[in-house]
Amino acid sequence: MRRPLVAGNWKMNGSREITKTLVTGIGSDLPGDCGIDVVVCPPYVYLDLCSDLLGLQPVSLGAQDLDIHGPGAFTGAIAADMLLDVGCRYVIVGHSERRSLYGESDESVAEKAAVATARGLTPIICVGETQEEREDGITAEVIRRQLGVVIENAGGKIFPQALVAYEPVWAIGTGLTATDHQAQEVHALIREQLSDASEEAAMGTRILYGGSVKPDNAAGLFAQPDIDGGLIGGASLKAADFLGIIKAANS
């Protein structure tokens, strides 16, 4: 039985004040054992503050990216050990914004996933097709390529510790959500591909859906057999909406 997980990706949003309001808002209404894993991924500079604010709350901390190198002369970069040092357990790798705006390749995403896992962090590995790729009918091919490089280069053994997030690029921040059926179809393909790694990887890996998830569409998505929770962008910046999504994952 895979335990559902809901992660909030705050992207480049927030301030010290907003971080305090948001974390307090989430914590005030979260049951002690809410039956699912909850993760928040603030910008690097607020990780430490978030870690202090979370205290004993049943919410884990995640980062939005990491560098593959160890500490040293890499100006502007953040190492896995630093993330662990401020209390992170999770790290998002290969978000479509990192791929499209910062030129991250399938190979560098695989390398980040490998380093994160080796250092004891749980990577949330994002894959997803663009609108054009979907219209061209090559969604399965794109996902297969992105995940295939991870399985080959990082090694199948990173699963089921590592998570996969299916995030159709056309659904991120657009208000367009994949239908329950469209999302389930791709999640099933991902699970099937994970069996190339091992049967344990296929059965145990949590596959999240991301792309304009809101409290009112979350329940339908999370009811699908291969959807084990969500990676949430915009709606994770409002405590009430994020809590609504957590509730949907827990029902």
CB of 174 to ligand PEP, least distance (A): 7
- Three-state DSSP at 58 gives coil
Catalytic residue among 107, 167, 187, 199: 167
Q: Among 26, 211, 218, 226, which residue sits at the site for ligand PEP (rule: CB under 6 A)?
A: 211
The helix-helix angle for 139-149 and 180-194 (nearest 10°) equals 40
- What per-residue string of b and e applies to 155-176 under the rule 16 or more CB within 10 Å gives b? ebebbbebbbbbbbbbbbeeee
Check: CB of residue 51 under 8 Å from CB of residue 84: no
Interface with ligand PEP, residue 217, by CB under 6 A: no
Q: Which residue number, 46 or 209, has a Cβ lying nearer to ligand PEP?
A: 209
Stretch 47-66 residues interacting with ligand PEP (CB under 6 A): none
Report if residue 239 touches ligand PEP, rule: CB under 6 A: no
- Give me the least distance between CB of 235 and ligand PEP, in Å please: 6
Tell whether residue 167 is a contact of ligand PEP (CB under 6 A).
Answer: yes
Q: Which residues contact 41 (CB under 8 A, 6 or more apart)?
A: 7, 8, 9, 10, 61, 62, 63, 64, 90, 92
78 binds ligand PEP per the rule CB under 6 A: no
95 flagged as catalytic? yes
Q: Residue with CB nearest ligand PEP?
A: 233
Please pick, from the candidates 234, 239, 246, 248, the single residue that binds ligand PEP as defined by CB under 6 A.
234
Contact map string, positions 169 to 198, toward ligand PEP, x by CB under 6 A: ---xx-------------------------
Residue 233 interacting with ligand PEP (CB under 6 A): yes
CA distance 12 to 206: 25
Nearest to 197 by CA among 226, 162, 222, 240: 162
Bridge-based pairing state of the strands 37-41 and 5-9: parallel
Which token pair is 51? 């870690």
Q: Does 9 bind ligand PEP (CB under 6 A)?
A: yes
Nearer to ligand PEP, 142 or 197 (CB): 142
3-state secondary structure of 101: helix
CA-based R_g, the chain, Å: 17
| Residues linked to residue 93 through DSSP beta bridges, in sequence order | 125
Catalytic residues: 95, 167
- Can you give the binding site for ligand PEP, defined by CB under 6 A? 9, 167, 172-173, 210-213, 231-235
